[in-house]
Structure formats: structure tokens, C-alpha cells
Amino acid sequence: MIELIVIVPFIIGILIFFVKESKILLPITGIIHFTLTMLSWGGFLKPMFNKYVFLSSDGMIVLLITSFLFLIISFYTVFYLKEVKYENEKIFNAFMILFLASMSSVAISDNLILFWISVEATTITSAPLIFIHKSKTSIEAAWKYVIICSVGIALALLGTFLIAIARDEANLKIALSFTELYKNPSLLKMEWLKAGFVFILIGYGTKMGLAPMHTWLPDAHSEAASPASALLSGALLNTAFLGIFKITKVLKVTEAGTFAEMSLIILGLLSMLIAAVFILKQVDYKRMLAYSSVENMGIIAFGAGIGGIAAYGAIFHLIHHALIKSSLFLSAGNVLISYETKLIEKIGNMVKFLPKTFIAMFLGTVAILGFPPFGLFFSEFLIIVGSIKKGKYVAVSLFVFSLILIVAGFIKYMLKMYYDKTEYEPKIKENNWRVYPQYILLSTSFIITFFQFNQLLELINKAVEVFGGAL
């Protein structure tokens, strides 16, 4: 049964408190979870509670990304924990696995209330990963994350209730599930549906890191342990977007479709512009990567709002951003271990001191800025072409302007870290096993860009079918 994807990591996450050596359970869990995910994709696992659970094409994409990232990050974490000692290492390992369980639950939830509970569970299971250092700034970041996201999640719950009212006012005797809502969208009461969408967009948009609700994200991603930062940016943000994407699909086939599109375009552009401004004035490389996540979530929202082939580009962007940004956060973890600082001004000459990490970070930088031959170049190209085809000339101009600002800011600071001389030398040498995971993530992004696997193409096409974006 598909529910094993949640149950297995949940049980291991609890059992971890009773074993002596806990970190080895991270890759073991990763292997089991990825195997279950592939079996689900192949149709070998079916839901037992099919009133509440259904693995849709968009959910499958998010589940695949989450499972693959956890698998790779779990191996990195084993070697990361040899250099970084936590007083409560068992708690860290346990919550990494429980975090995986909660994100998996989001991916397979079909019922709107179960989806909401699962998203809330991701907050509870990831907060300890942020304050694991127990520093003043990490505790502040964790509280900020919990409070702001809880307010957002509360608004999403209100939006869910409004969607239920839209169903009840239309006298529809159907379950409150995404699947049932897709089947009867035009029968729903439009005014309640629109109101519900607004609250869900703001609520899950807060968790996704869309501006102006993004204020928790730079602090949380910067203060979390680096493997957790990679999961927060690569996997968690996608799960929040999934809620917005699913409810947008319902509105797309109603008269409220244009309203949903414009809302996503505006929030997407706002996120990109705000991220660009903050990236230009960064002093902390982990915060710079965090603001890059805000930017990329904005790109995904913008592409989904434009629709057509831009929606295909948005999902393509979601996949590649997850792989590339996770690799960058893992590389940032190596830099932090070696230089013992997050300040850009104190980092230099990485090409000499950390050559393998430099290669991974350099390729990650090229990829995240949307240069060929990586996937983000093609996803942004599809979004730009889709925008022009829809006649959104002002919007696409702002889109391109934001991209240029971000490229300028990123290159300025990254080149300083890579090549400038510094009086600070790394205290810990790099370890190959803390670099190979980044190479695997970047190689995966490269391979799925140029080798278009039919199964993956079919999955994306099905996910964006209602947006008219299938290739």
C-alpha cells in the first residue's frame, strides 16, 4: 500500500531513539523510501485509504524529488556528522526522517484536510532541524519559522473551509478531495471558491516562501544544519507549492481561472524582485542561497500563472531547482565546515583550498543562474516564450529584469569566494564523500535535461494538462 511511504519513515524515526548508532539509519531509510516510491510510480503499490490518499501526477513528481533528495542527502549527512558534532545527534537524525515522512504525506494526500494536517506536520518535524545548533540566532530563526508558518497554515485552513462552503452551497454531495473537486469545478459557488483560493494562496504561499510572506525563509535556511537546509529548499517548498497548484487546477477550468492566473503572476514577480534586491546586498552566502530560493519559487508561481508551455516550464523548473539548490546548500555546508563562517568577506581562494567543492559549487552557480546546458535554462526559456505567446510583455520584461539583477549579484559574490585571496584559511580539509552527493545531484539535473525519459515527460504532461502546457 502507498501509505507505507509515510508509515515506514515514521516508524524508523521513532525507533531511532532506542538504537545506539542512529545515523546509519538515514541512508537505510533513504534506500527503503526510494524503493517504495519507485514501486508506487510503477503502479505496484495502491492506496488502502483511497478516500483520503491518491497519488496524482503532480504529487508523484513532488514525491520523486523528495525521496531522491533525501536518499542523496542522507549519505552526505553520515559524513557531515563526522565533522559536525551535535549534542543531540539522535534528535537531529530522528527529525530528518520524520520530516521525510511528513513531506511524503503531503505528496500523497488527496483530502484537503489531510493535506493541511500533513503540511502542518512538516513545520513541526522541521523546526528542530533549524535550532539544532542551539545558538541565539538559530532559536530565533526557529521561532520565527514556527510562528509565521503557523499563521500561514491557519489561513490555509480557513481557505479550506471556504472551499467546503463552495461545495456545500452548491449542494454537491462529494468528498472534500482534490480529485472530486476536479470533476465538478463549474458547479462550485464561485465567490466562495475565489475566497478560498485567496486564503490558500496566502497560507501555503507563506510556507512556499512567496513574497511578501517569505520573511521566515532566509533566517531558517541560513541557520538550519546544511543537510536540513538542502531539504528545506529542495523539497519542503515544493510540497507547499503542491497545495497551490492543485487548487489552481480546480479554478483553471472555471470562470475564476483568470483571477487565479493573475494572482500567481503578481506574487511570482514580487518574489523575484524582492529576492533580487536582497541578493545584491548580501554578506552571508547561505542567506544568499535562501533568497535565491525565494526567487525560484517566484519563477515557478509566475510560470504556473502564465499557463501554456510556461506551466510546463514551471514544473520543469521545480524539478531542476530542487536538484541544483540542494547541491549548492550541501556545498555551502562544506564551506562552513572548513572556513567556520558564513560571511562572504571571509571566504576566498576556494579554487585552491577546496577544489572539489569549488567545482560542485561553480557548476551549481552556473546552473542556478539559468545558464546552459542545465535544465533551468530551458525552463526559464519556456516560461519566457510562454509569456510572449500570451502577450504578457510587461510581466515578461520584469521577469527578465529580475533575472539580470540576480545574475549580477550572484556572480559578484561567488567569484569573490572562488578566486579572491583571503587571510582566512580553511581549518578542515574537504572530504570526497561530502562532495560526491553534489556531483550526483548536478549530474541528475544534466541527464534528465538531455535524455528525455518518456515516463517523466508523461508525468509532467499529465500534471500541466489543464494549463494547456503539455508538450
- 194-241 pLDDT per residue, tens: 999 999 999 999 999 998 988 899 999 888 999 999 999 999 999 999
pLDDT band at 469 (very low <50, low <70, confident <90, very high): low
For residue 427, pLDDT over 90 is answered with no
Q: What is the mean pLDDT of residues 447-468?
A: 86
Average pLDDT, the chain: 91
Alpha helices per DSSP H over 24-111: 25-41, 57-83, 89-108
Residue 308, sorted as left (phi over 0), alpha (psi -120 to 50) or beta, turns out to be left
The pLDDT assigned to 120 comes to 94
Indicate left, alpha or beta for 134 from its phi (over 0: left) and psi (-120 to 50: alpha).
left
Residues 335 and 100: their CA atoms lie apart, in Å, by 25
Packed helices 436-450 and 375-389: angle between N→C axes, nearest 10 degrees: 40
Q: Check residue 356 and give its pLDDT.
A: 94
- Rounded CA separation 61/442 (Å): 18
Give me the residue label for grid cell 535524455.
451
Contact 180, 50 (CB under 8 A): no
Rounded CA-CA distance 22/202 in Å is 38
Task: Encode pLDDT of 339-377 as tens digits.
Answer: 988 899 888 888 889 999 999 999 999 999 999 888 999
Using the predicted structure, report yes or no on whether residue 51 has a pLDDT greater than 90: no
Exposure string for 254-280, b = 16+ CB within 10 A, e = fewer: bebbebbbebbbebbbbbbbbbbebbb
| Cα–Cα distance for residue pair 155/142, rounded to 1 Å | 20
Given a cut of 90, whether residue 183 has pLDDT beyond it is no
C-alpha cell at 324: 541544483
Q: What does the pLDDT read at residue 301?
A: 96
Whether pTM exceeds 0.85: yes
Segment 312-333 shows an average pLDDT of 95
Segment 317-331 mean pLDDT:
95
Question: Which span out of 25-34, 245-254, 348-357 was modeled with the highest average pLDDT?
Answer: 25-34
Q: Per mean pLDDT, which range of 81-85, 259-263, 390-394 is the poorest?
A: 81-85
Strand partners, 177: 111
Q: What residue type is 453 in one-letter code?
A: F
Average pLDDT over residues 272-295: 93
Residues 6+ apart with CB under 8 A from 222: 141, 229, 284, 286, 287, 290, 342
- Do 449 and 378 contact (CB within 8 A), yes or no? yes
